[in-house]
Amino acid sequence: MDKIHFAIKNESLCTKNNLVESILNGLDSFLNLKYKKGLLFSISVLEKFIEKEAKYDAQTLTLNEKRGIRSFSSGEQKKILLAYLIEQKPDFLILESPFESLDTNAVSDLKENLIKLSSKIILIQIFSRKEELLPIITHVLEVENDVITSSNAIEKYTFKEHDFVFKGTIPKSITFYKNIPKQLISLRNVTVHYGDNCILNSINWIINKNEFWQLIGPNGSGKTTILSMIYGNNVKAYGQEVYLFGKKKGSGESVWEIKEKIGYFSPAILTLFQREITAKEMVISGFFDSIGLYKSPTTLQVQLAKEWLKLLGLESEKEVSFKNLTTATQRLVLIARAMIKHPPLLILDEPLMNLDNQGTAILIALMNKIVKESDTTILFVSHRSVDNLLLNTVYELVPTKNGSIGSIKK
């Protein structure tokens, strides 16, 4: 008999993943997996391995490799994690958004592996978008307050689609930047090697004021590496022709001075925000570039944060603890935090990761609005193309055996 495989909509789960824990511990009565061995395939499990590696120098996932799991690209990391979990011979696997942050080829590879695996073990897929569902899924589970309430055959399940329009305009800026040149970022013949591997090969890229860029490229093509040259502290940037706001990187400006001019969001930064802080305080903290709120804000700053929350339709949630907001709402709040000073450059690194169709539509509408109504340049990084964005230009990384080369796509 064919196996039954389940799917659960990501948005129906609470952020703390109580249901996942109870299924893994055999406490959930609906699925009846009490004496079965279950394992979780997820970004959070990967992050735990990465953390363990950093703390104890323990290379559990990459025993046969010279380097740790952190330095592998998302696609490589997921492949390594899946192989490790299969080695433990589980009876079932919970797949938490397995395809997020993977490019088309990596998605088909992983899909193929999971379909093969589905003849041997039960799969429970947590999904955000209909297109992600594995073809072997037979049932979609309905969840309320972290308890499974019913199971619907996939043929009978209805998927909701959404569109989104904001009411109101982007709140104005009360922060002013001096001497911002037209050319915000310039990379000239930037080449990066790790050991014998060339990752980036002679990258030439200029980002000007008021542009809207997408940086695209398959897993492992070097997107994170380019970002780390601009925003991060990658030592490989020094001695190269990397110009940020008219100044060569490493020529005296502190990292702090550079970061002041760049708003940044990536789903990974959510892990930094563990303290109790309200949605409003989170937006205000963007004025201080701090993770919590340690200084008293001015009346004007508080007013502006409220205006941002109103625009985002979150007025009634301003005093709600940030941790208790849904994933999509947390992202809106963090983008408002990054935008509150109207920085010359806003970097959004995979902001659509793990969002369902509605969350994706809201974020796309917000990016378009920022570009239309402010002077901020957006650099949007993603491994897949996205419809409906008002992009001017796409910078594409194309891997070759001598490292990725870059070109402007449109």
Ligand X SMILES: Nc1ncnc2c1ncn2[C@@H]1O[C@H](COP(=O)(O)OP(=O)(O)OP(=O)(O)O)[C@@H](O)[C@H]1O
In sequence order, the β-bridge partners of residue 38 are 92
**Nearer Cβ to ligand X (219/376):** 219
**Nearer Cβ to ligand X (10/225):** 225
Q: CB under 8 Å to 181, separation ≥6 — which residues? A: 245, 246
**Nearer Cβ to ligand X (223/337):** 223
Is 199 a binding residue for ligand X by CB under 6 A? The answer is yes
Query: Which residues, 303 to 362, sit near ligand X by CB under 6 A?
Result: none
Q: Is 185 exposed, middle or buried (0-12, 13-18, 19+ CB in 10 A)?
A: buried
Q: Single out the residue of 223, 249, 280, 318 in contact with ligand X (rule: CB under 6 A).
A: 223
Q: Which amino acid is at 281?
A: E
Is 220 a binding residue for ligand X by CB under 6 A? The answer is yes
CA distance 217 to 104: 10
CA distance 101 to 78: 10
Q: Single out the residue of 75, 90, 171, 343 in contact with ligand X (rule: CB under 6 A).
A: 75
Q: Single out the residue of 10, 12, 17, 73 in contact with ligand X (rule: CB under 6 A).
A: 73
CA distance 83 to 316: 45
Distances (CA, A) of 315 to 20, 22, 84, 280, 329: 31, 34, 45, 9, 12
Q: Single out the residue of 12, 219, 240, 354 in contact with ligand X (rule: CB under 6 A).
A: 219
CA distance 216 to 246: 24
Helix, strand, coil share of the chain (percent; to 5): 35, 25, 40
Cα angle 399, 402, 405; round to 5: 45
Q: Single out the residue of 15, 44, 71, 189 in contact with ligand X (rule: CB under 6 A).
A: 71
Is 74 a binding residue for ligand X by CB under 6 A? The answer is yes
Q: Single out the residue of 293, 339, 383, 396 in contact with ligand X (rule: CB under 6 A).
A: 383
CA distance 326 to 92: 27
Stretch touching ligand X by CB under 6 A, among 8-16, 39-47, 137-145, 218-226: 218-226
Q: Single out the residue of 62, 97, 224, 360 in contact with ligand X (rule: CB under 6 A).
A: 224
Is 90 a binding residue for ligand X by CB under 6 A? The answer is no
**Nearer Cβ to ligand X (118/225):** 225
Least CB distance to ligand X at residue 195 (A): 6
Least CB distance to ligand X at residue 220 (A): 4
Stretch touching ligand X by CB under 6 A, among 30-38, 71-79, 179-187, 330-338: 71-79
**Nearer Cβ to ligand X (38/75):** 75
The count of chain residues that interact with ligand X, using the rule CB under 6 A, is 18
**Nearer Cβ to ligand X (217/263):** 217
CA distance 362 to 364: 6
Q: Single out the residue of 194, 290, 315, 408 in contact with ligand X (rule: CB under 6 A).
A: 194
CA distance 151 to 36: 20
Contact 335, 355 (CB under 8 A): no
Least CB distance to ligand X at residue 349 (A): 9
Stretch touching ligand X by CB under 6 A, among 12-20, 79-87, 179-187, 219-227: 219-227
**Nearer Cβ to ligand X (60/71):** 71
**Nearer Cβ to ligand X (223/249):** 223
Contact 302, 262 (CB under 8 A): no
Cα angle 19, 23, 25; round to 5: 115
Stretch touching ligand X by CB under 6 A, among 221-229, 243-251, 255-263, 355-363: 221-229
Q: Which amino acid is at 2?
A: D
Is 221 a binding residue for ligand X by CB under 6 A? The answer is yes
Is 128 a binding residue for ligand X by CB under 6 A? The answer is no
Phi-psi region of 402 (alpha: psi -120 to 50; beta: other; left: phi over 0): alpha
**Nearer Cβ to ligand X (64/296):** 64
Least CB distance to ligand X at residue 235 (A): 10
SS3 303: helix
Q: Single out the residue of 42, 62, 214, 225 in contact with ligand X (rule: CB under 6 A).
A: 225
What stretches of 217-359 adopt beta strand conformation (E)? 241-244, 247-248, 262-265, 345-349
Stretch touching ligand X by CB under 6 A, among 67-75, 142-150, 263-271, 304-312: 67-75
- List contacts with ligand X (CB under 6 A): 67, 71-76, 194, 199, 217, 219-225, 383
